[in-house]
Amino acid sequence: MAKTSFALPARCTTPQLKLSKKAPKSTDVYLVPLLAGEDGPELPASELLDDAALRHVLSSLTAVGATGRACEVTRVAAPEDLGVAQVIAVGLGDPEELTDETLRQAAGTAARALTGVKTAATTLGVFGLAAAVEGIALGAYRYRGLRSDEEKKSAAPVATVVFVGDTKSGKAEFETARTSAEAVIFARDLVNTPSSHLYPESYAAILTAEAEEAGLEVEVLDEKALKKQGFGGILAVGQGSSRGPRLVRLTWNPGKAKKSVAFVGKGITFDTGGISLKPGAKMEDMISDMGGSAAVAATVIAAAKLKLPVKITATLPLAENMPSGTAQRPGDVITHYGGITSEIINTDAEGRLVLADAIARACEDKPDYLVETATLTGAQMVALGTRTSGVMGSDELRDRIAELGRTVGEPAWAMPLLEEQEEELKSPVADIRNSHNSRFGGMLFAGLYLSKFVPEGQEWAHVDIAGPSFNGGGVSGYTNKRATGVPVRTFLALLAEVAAEGR
């Protein structure tokens, strides 16, 4: 039988990025940084503006009240002989306090102001090429899904952005940043794809195609193979849906790797709650319940493109959590991969069930680090708000990932696993139960549940991204609405460090 082929029904639009010594002749807009100096706005001298142009543009900017405060966007007409129609200045704030994150946010804000522009040239990279590239690429991200109306030309995202800088010394940093931004964008596209189009079978096929193209090994277990190998958690969650579950394993194994990292990501392609049905309000956002797996898949694919000298596996349990005559029930007892049994108290606590199997499988390979991420609990947002991930696990790796997250602009905070909740995990009929029926400490209970599947002595971290992976609020900086791609950049930063450790 011919294999059905699957592809994402829609991709985003995002600009083409180039690094070049000079602005191309056909440039429409110059995008320049403006600093908030002590005595007013300062326009740094650059490749794009010679002394005369600099004075002219600065006086135009001052005349319309530009201050250089962070993320302020000001448009002025260009001096006649400059060769472009417009100069757009974006504020970077006080130069003494300039960080990569300020630059990313400013670049992202500026990218959104470039709508309708065909080609822009920018010197933002002078203050940090990687941050400028990421900010522009992520800020300009636009997902229109299956809308059939055509976007107005004036509202279309900028088509090409040329970073003006040294093409030799900047090349590696530029390419790495572009690969990182592409990974975030791929994760965003996966998460933004509706569950009508993204379900375990189609998702597994899409990941297979992308991963094979990047040179990864791919293994997909279908329902039959999952049964044969005893993946009771994934099967139990998937059994209510007519679209069966899968387990996807992606492996990047460069010969020379000294260290290994096993990633695990939650891949619930839609979470209705199952028989413990969720309320209707905002249920449509549960298309994003595979955000952990999307981030992990995008990370590993990027690591392969970057040829990082680290062995990496991604273990991705994919299932659709539906209520039906074949769905699992509260009170059921299931046997996970590896033999631990769980009593199901709440079928809406499904993420931990599929992750338990995947963690047990991933740890069989004895990785140096186990890193798992999931849109796991509403309690994450009660504890930390919608933008800050909760990180649990072994002390060192937990703190390291939380810190890395904060450095790359994906805020994260270390949270404890509580001894006192051990009692709440107990079940009269199974080794553990999947919910404690308490209003308190829900994120930590989920972390403690997962810890039971991590072997003694294994360095590990669990990152709860329930809020941070999907932005239900407005745009800001380089963060658009809906899928954010968190925590791809945190994971790539970790891998860059681990690669350096192994040398």
Question: Rounded to an integer, what distance in angstroms lies between the CA atom of residue 377 and that of residue 271?
Answer: 12
Establish if 351 lies at the interface with Zn ion (CB under 5 A). Answer: yes
Q: Which is nearer to Mn ion, 109 or 434 (CB)?
A: 434
Establish if 28 lies at the interface with Zn ion (CB under 5 A). Answer: no
**Where on the phi/psi map is residue 145: left (φ > 0), alpha (ψ -120 to 50), or beta?**
left
Question: Rounded to an integer, what distance in angstroms lies between the CA atom of residue 72 and that of residue 470?
Answer: 25
Is 352 among the catalytic positions? yes
Q: Which is nearer to Mn ion, 109 or 380 (CB)?
A: 380
Q: Which is nearer to Mn ion, 274 or 367 (CB)?
A: 274
Q: What letter does residue 101 receive in the DSSP assignment?
A: H
Question: Rounded to an integer, what distance in angstroms lies between the CA atom of residue 75 and that of residue 68?
Answer: 12
Q: What minimum distance in Å lies between the beta carbon of 278 and ligand BES?
A: 7
**Prior bond of 254 cis (ω within 30°):** no
Binding residues among 350-369 for Mn ion as defined by CB under 5 A: 350
Question: Rounded to an integer, what distance in angstroms lies between the CA atom of residue 204 and that of residue 88?
Answer: 43
One-letter amino acid of 282? K
What number of other Cβ atoms are within 10 A of residue 306's Cβ? 20
Q: What minimum distance in Å lies between the beta carbon of 286 and Zn ion?
A: 7
Interface ranges with ligand BES (CB under 6 A): 271, 289, 346, 348-351, 375-379, 435, 442, 466
| Backbone phi and psi for residue 342, each to the nearest 5 degrees, phi listed first | -125, 135
Q: Could you tell me how many residues of this chain bind Zn ion (CB under 5 A)?
A: 4
Task: State the binding site.
Answer: 266, 271, 289, 348, 350
Q: Which is nearer to Zn ion, 289 or 424 (CB)?
A: 289
**Catalytic-labelled residue, pool 352, 361, 433, 489:** 352
Establish if 182 lies at the interface with Zn ion (CB under 5 A). Answer: no
One-letter amino acid of 323? P
Q: What minimum distance in Å lies between the beta carbon of 314 and Zn ion?
A: 19
Establish if 289 lies at the interface with Zn ion (CB under 5 A). Answer: yes
Establish if 348 lies at the interface with Mn ion (CB under 5 A). Answer: yes
Establish if 464 lies at the interface with Zn ion (CB under 5 A). Answer: no
What number of other Cβ atoms are within 10 A of residue 75's Cβ? 15
Question: Rounded to an integer, what distance in angstroms lies between the CA atom of residue 92 and that of residue 44?
Answer: 11
Q: What minimum distance in Å lies between the beta carbon of 477 and ligand BES?
A: 22
One-letter amino acid of 52? A
Task: State the binding site for Mn(2+).
Answer: 266, 271, 289, 348, 350
Is 259 among the catalytic positions? no
- Residue closest to Zn ion, measured at CB: 271
User: Binding Mn ion by CB under 5 A: which of 134, 210, 271, 372?
Assistant: 271
Q: Angle at Cα 5 formed by Cα 350 and Cα 190, nearest 5°?
A: 45
Q: What minimum distance in Å lies between the beta carbon of 344 and Mn ion?
A: 12
| Backbone phi and psi for residue 220, each to the nearest 5 degrees, phi listed first | -125, 120
Q: Which does 388 bind (CB under 5 to 8 A by kind): ligand BES, Mn ion, Zn ion, none?
A: none
Q: Which is nearer to Mn ion, 317 or 367 (CB)?
A: 317
Q: Any residues with CB less than 8 A from the CB of 221 and at least 6 apart, and which? A: 229, 231, 246, 247, 248, 249
> Which active-site residues does the annotation give?
278, 352
